[in-house]
Structure 1
Amino acid sequence: MAIEKPIKISFVIAARNGEHDKSFLTRLRTVLRLRSAFAARHKLPCEFIVVQYNPPKSQPFYEDVLVDLATDAMPIRVITVPESFHTRIAPGRKGPFLEYVAKNIGIRRAHGEFILATNLDIVYSEEMVARLAQPFAKNTVYEARCHDLNIREIADSIDADTALEICHNHVDRIWTEHGLLYVSWSRWLKRLLNHRHPLSFIRNLTMCPLCNSIKKFLPAQPIKDVAPGHFTLAHRDAWHKVRGYDQRQLIDSYLDSYAIGMFACHGFKQVVLPEPIYHIKHNINPLLRKPMGVEKFKQDMKMMAETGIPYAVYSKDWGFPNEQFSDIMLRTNEKKT
């Protein structure tokens, strides 16, 4: 595929149409529409890669339903990973969607100088897109403060600036390097009442919105784990050095956080950007992830923070570079291969 101009940022998401709920496609279209508008406004050279993993035959393909959103400001690439590949690498597996295998495939094939692994339901503020147009360091991995919303979709007809105002007015909580900051009293109360164990109850008491101003003065985590599945930005050489995400199929949970630990072990600095991103609320398919023991995860992260030794060595064939997948570029309302 010919590249006409240098790309600074490659956005990479993994998706399987219909995997979450009925508003799945609406959320993705909203994200693409806003990202493209702000990329054009701030002259951000970028591409948006959708890794269409094991697509169900009963749902439309992304290259058909997203083609009207492609622009010269932000071309869209759809990389399709077929069912035959999934069956071969994960025989007998109940879940049809391997999110981080899909992200590895997209990262490995991205054209950008910097690669941003993100999710399909993340709205980027204009401030964030403007920041992405500015310089970044090659020896640093970047995360962002993710603002969880209490709405499930934003109408496709709403203009970009109004959509951001809606996001700003519907924040429930914020993921930061100092921990969760609850903005909504009702969401905090729901968390408090759902965790009745005495230790959990006491810990959750400290998460009430009144404590937010105090938390900002607390020391940050040794390895900053700020919802990295929604935003992990690093230079392409950095992604190759850590070999992307763990794709061994031994674990399903916390792979985004493990990746941040791996960046730290390989000597990359961590920076949490203050510009907001917004997470649109949605249901979660229980087959997407089988929960892994949180204690094992905590032990591994603690070990990496204290010793700088990776918990595992990832495959040099991460992202399956020898596989040939369909890679379609959508641009200026046309489908191009």
Structure 2
Amino acid sequence: MMRPYLSIVATGRNDNHGGNLIHRMQLFVDGIMEQTQKHQLHTELLLVEWNPVKDRPRLSSVLSWPKNHSFCTVRIVEVPNELHRTYVHAENLPLYQMVGKNVGIRRARGEHVLVTNIDILFSEEVFDFIAKRGLNRGNIYRVCRYDVDNALSVDYSQQEKLQFCEDHIIRINDRFGSLNTITNEYYLVFPDDARAQGLMPPFTNACGDFQLMHRDHWFDLRGYAEFDLYSMHLDSLMQYAALATGLREIEISDGGRIYHIEHEAGWSPEAEKSKQLENRLKSGKVNSLSFEQLIVFNGLMGLNQEILLFNQDDWGMGSLVLEDEFIVTAWWDKDESQGYEPAAVDYLPHLICSTEEWLDYADRNYITVLTMNAGTFPEWLGKIADIKRKIEQQKIILFGSGSGYAKFVEPVMKHFKVNNKGLYFVDNDANKVGANVKGVPIRRVEVLLDEDRDHTFIIVCSMYYSQIKRQLIQLGFEENIHFGNGLNNPYLYQLGTNVGKYSFSELRET
């Protein structure tokens, strides 16, 4: 009995999500069929059809499939509507993406499992890298995602499709942020000084489109956290958890990339589109994991030096027998009996704690993560506290009035009881000057020149620290003496890389 070298797992349904869905999915399928044949890679494509749409054809009949294929088996596992209805947000969230992916991972037979999405094309370099059969245990593999125009035709050859993608790039999502190639705007994922410092933050940006590791690692981690929420940040949570076990993150470069076909419904960093998604979730009263809660789970894995396992042993509906149809059977895979064989028992709760309990746990530990072992920022605040004890007129000024302050600086200031009557913001955005944040006024940057810098400390509350640092130095302020980075917290971009003390073998024994 031959096991495939690679299982590719994705989930979807015939609901036209994002517009022209079947067209995008056909491009995805055709690409895998052609590239596995070209690279002679023993592969199974495992699609999880979640909550099939009533009165619409199944994916097996609406998509075109080759009659025969030498190297790629295609399976479709169905999660029926009656199981979907057991979820809290079933009415307004028709597809639980990460639970669906877990269903596929749980039943995947490949030595290595690549989890992706149904509107992705892979560069030849990605398949060439995998086909060399050099994937190793102990690694999690990632690539950059390139968002491309959706005018791609299924009638193109595979080479023409990939060339079209190269010629019609809309956005490049790399480790540090996302570049809109049309507007030339760069949206940071991590503070801009991370790259300048030579740091390598975990590659969480768009990671749900490509996470590849040995099948055993997926099982040790029990898949993605099966929270009863929209899928936002759950892929990043998996990336942090994998790294916290000691897995090494490998970026497939030298042309290795994936192409994501642009559509209306997905997330993107641009404010307008991100707001559309936020409003859609809010109108349906669907919650998602917040960035702050993600940081807490990541931070606690580092502080406690242990892995957070969110799911029970039956993750991925592992105790259920689900319909599993072989659509295409490769020559090496004529024995269909080697599919996943779960125990025929009742379905158990999939989370160790309820979603509400996990989120409450995160909220209660937020300040702990921001203040314990959190690098230089609490040290600066400690120095400020010392100065305040000696000099009653010590003044704190905040540079940047955006979300960085509310999320990361304000909670820590409250914790350390930093309360200055003369507190104010300065901001480079002229449109904000004259406004206020919770009663704290926003002023233009030039007012800093009127301050007694020897009795002033400026906390930079912006992702663009490197730029602001240069600006403050030009104004005569010295770093770490007159100003510091309020977002210089390792749980924002450092923690997660090889911080765990437990090996996978130790996890299996617990």
Is the structural similarity TM-score above 0.5?
yes
Q: 1:332, CA displacement in angstroms?
A: 6.7
Q: 1:95, CA displacement in angstroms?
A: 1.2
1:265 alignment partner AA: A
Residue 245 (structure 2) aligns with: 266
Q: 1:56 aligns with which of 53, 57, 73?
A: 53
Q: Is the 8 A contact 2:172 2:181 kept in 1?
A: no
SS for the counterpart of 1:75 is strand
SS for the counterpart of 1:167 is helix
1:219 aligns with 2:218: no
Q: How big is the alpha-carbon RMSD for the aligned residues of Structure 1 and Structure 2?
A: 2.8
For the residues of structure 2 that align with 1:293 and 1:5, how far apart are their CA atoms?
42
1:30 aligns with 2:10: no
1:324 aligns with 2:321: yes
For the residues of structure 1 that align with 2:197 and 2:118, how far apart are their CA atoms?
32
Residue 143 (structure 2) aligns with: 144
- With 46-55 and 70-79 compared, the bigger mean Cα shift is at 70-79
Distance 1:227 1:33, change over 3 A: same
Give per-residue Cα distances to partners, 1:171-214, cap 9 Å, x unaligned: 2232222x12525142628x7xxxxxxxxxxx69x98xxx9xx9
- Structure 1, unpaired ranges of 5+: 192-202
For the residues of structure 1 that align with 2:170 and 2:299, how far apart are their CA atoms?
29
Q: Which structure's relative contact order is higher, taking Cα pairs within 8 Å and 6+ residues apart? A: 1
Q: 1:240 aligns with which of 203, 215, 219?
A: 219
Q: Is the 8 A contact 2:123 2:257 kept in 1?
A: yes
Distance 1:227 1:252, change over 3 A: closer
Residue 127 (structure 1) aligns with: 125
SS for the counterpart of 1:40 is helix
Structure with bigger strand share is 1
For the residues of structure 2 that align with 1:92 and 1:279, how far apart are their CA atoms?
27
For the residues of structure 1 that align with 2:306 and 2:52, how far apart are their CA atoms?
37
SS for the counterpart of 2:223 is coil
Distance 1:126 1:252, change over 3 A: closer
Q: Is the 8 A contact 2:48 2:79 kept in 1?
A: yes
Q: 1:76 aligns with which of 74, 77, 92?
A: 74
1:62 alignment partner AA: L
Distance 1:217 1:69, change over 3 A: farther
- 1:195-234 aligned at under 5 Å gives the runs 218-221=198-201, 223-234=202-213
1:256 aligns with 2:221: no
For the residues of structure 2 that align with 1:216 and 1:280, how far apart are their CA atoms?
31
Q: Is the 8 A contact 1:67 1:330 kept in 2?
A: no
For the residues of structure 2 that align with 1:52 and 1:77, how far apart are their CA atoms?
10
Give per-residue Cα distances to partners, 1:56-90, cap 9 Å, x unaligned: 11322011123524633322111111001111344
1:220 alignment partner AA: M
Distance 1:90 1:290, change over 3 A: closer
Distance 1:217 1:40, change over 3 A: farther
- With 305-314 and 52-61 compared, the bigger mean Cα shift is at 305-314
Distance 1:235 1:145, change over 3 A: same
Give per-residue Cα distances to partners, 1:218-277, cap 9 Å, x unaligned: 4210x3313210001011110110000111326642111101111112221111211111
For the residues of structure 1 that align with 2:48 and 2:107, how far apart are their CA atoms?
10
Q: 1:21, CA displacement in angstroms?
A: 3.2
1:279 aligns with 2:277: no
1:269 alignment partner AA: R
1:168 aligns with 2:149: no
Q: Across the two proteins, how many residue pairs are aligned to each other?
A: 311
Distance 1:217 1:175, change over 3 A: farther
For the residues of structure 1 that align with 2:43 and 2:98, how far apart are their CA atoms?
21
Q: Is the 8 A contact 1:253 1:290 kept in 2?
A: no
Q: 1:22, CA displacement in angstroms?
A: 3.2
Distance 1:74 1:121, change over 3 A: same
Q: 1:17, CA displacement in angstroms?
A: 1.2
For the residues of structure 1 that align with 2:59 and 2:3, how far apart are their CA atoms?
25
SS for the counterpart of 1:278 is strand
SS for the counterpart of 1:261 is helix
Residue 40 (structure 1) aligns with: 37
Q: 1:165, CA displacement in angstroms?
A: 0.2
Q: 1:283, CA displacement in angstroms?
A: 1.6
Instruction: Give me the identity figure in percent.
Output: 25
Q: Is the 8 A contact 1:27 1:153 kept in 2?
A: no
- Structure 2, unpaired ranges of 5+: 267-279, 337-510
Q: Is the 8 A contact 2:146 2:172 kept in 1?
A: yes
2:213 alignment partner AA: A
Q: 1:299, CA displacement in angstroms?
A: 3.1
1:117 alignment partner AA: V
Q: 1:164, CA displacement in angstroms?
A: 0.3
Q: 1:215, CA displacement in angstroms?
A: 5.1
2:200 alignment partner AA: A
Q: Is the 8 A contact 1:35 1:129 kept in 2?
A: no
- With 160-169 and 285-294 compared, the bigger mean Cα shift is at 285-294
Residue 108 (structure 1) aligns with: 106
For the residues of structure 2 that align with 1:160 and 1:146, how far apart are their CA atoms?
18
Detail structure 1 runs of 4+ shifted over 6 Å in the superposition: none
Give per-residue Cα distances to partners, 1:106-131, cap 9 Å, x unaligned: 00000100001100011101111111
For the residues of structure 1 that align with 2:70 and 2:62, how far apart are their CA atoms?
18
Residue 198 (structure 1) aligns with: none
Residue 195 (structure 1) aligns with: none
1:28 alignment partner AA: M
For the residues of structure 2 that align with 1:216 and 1:16, how far apart are their CA atoms?
43
Q: Is the 8 A contact 1:72 1:331 kept in 2?
A: no
Q: Is the 8 A contact 1:43 1:73 kept in 2?
A: yes
Distance 1:272 1:308, change over 3 A: farther
For the residues of structure 2 that align with 1:264 and 1:332, how far apart are their CA atoms?
35
Q: In terms of Rg, which structure is larger?
A: 2
Q: Is the 8 A contact 1:252 1:290 kept in 2?
A: no
